[in-house]
Homo-oligomer: A and B are copies of this chain.
Amino acid sequence: MRIITISREFGSGGRELGKRLADTLGFSYYDKEIISAIAKESSFDEHYVEETLLRGLTPNYTLTFGHTFAFGPDPIMQNELKILKLQQEIIKELAKQGDCVMVGRTSGSILEKDFHPLKIFVYADSAAKLARCRSRADEGENLTDRELEKKIRQIDEGRARHQRLFTDKKWGARENYHLCINTTGLEIKNMIPPIKAYALAWFSQHSSEV
């Protein structure tokens, strides 16, 4: 099984990179599919699942509502835990089905031990991320650059926080990835052939270990 997991800064083009890489390799591609599967299994609304995965388990609830575990189970917390458990199960289940590229959802950390994925981190400088967000009609249309930068930072902070629920390996720290790609100034589609070649060379050397 050859699994590629992609973590990415918001606006860096990691999703495009992952999709194109999956297409050129003939691998399955999972991103929002993971959320849909969790929603289906849990019978929660997709939007609620996505929000929860973005936000992570926040202690805010207990602070806001005066509930703690000591006062018995908090239903909101229980829903969150259920979603996180499903996230792990579904990601592992998908990984078992064959070669694939997974974008986000902490899949690298979740699969690391059992599936030895090639873990890629995609990032870009702030100006490049702003420009990429602006080029997508639905993102930050009414925001100033400063507001959009703040939004980008908050989304990435959410991803880092979410990862901390599963592992003590820090989100975005290069030592936790096999390859870190800075997309600043690059047309992603032009970089796919060498990234594909890198992935295949990497798997050919790691397959004996798995």
Contacts and interface: CB of A to CB of B under 8 A. Distances in A.
Interface in A69-106: none
Interface string A163-175: 0000000001011
Contacts of A125: 175
Given A125-B175, A180-B180, A194 B205 contact: no
Interface of A: 121, 123, 125, 172, 174-175, 177-182, 184-187, 190-191, 193-195, 197-198, 200-202, 204-206, 209
Contacts of A172: 174
Contacts of A209: 185
Contacts of A194: 194-195, 197-198, 200-201
A178 B124 CA distance: 9
A185 B206 contact: yes
27 contacts: A121-B174, A123-B175, A125-B175, A172-B174, A174-B180, A174-B182, A177-B180, A177-B182, A178-B184, A179-B179, A179-B180, A179-B181, A179-B182, A180-B180, A185-B205, A185-B206, A186-B202, A186-B205, A190-B201, A190-B204, A190-B205, A193-B201, A194-B195, A194-B200, A194-B201, A195-B198, A197-B197
Nearest 3 A-B pairs (CB), nearest first? A194-B197, A180-B180, A194-B198
Contacts of A200: 194
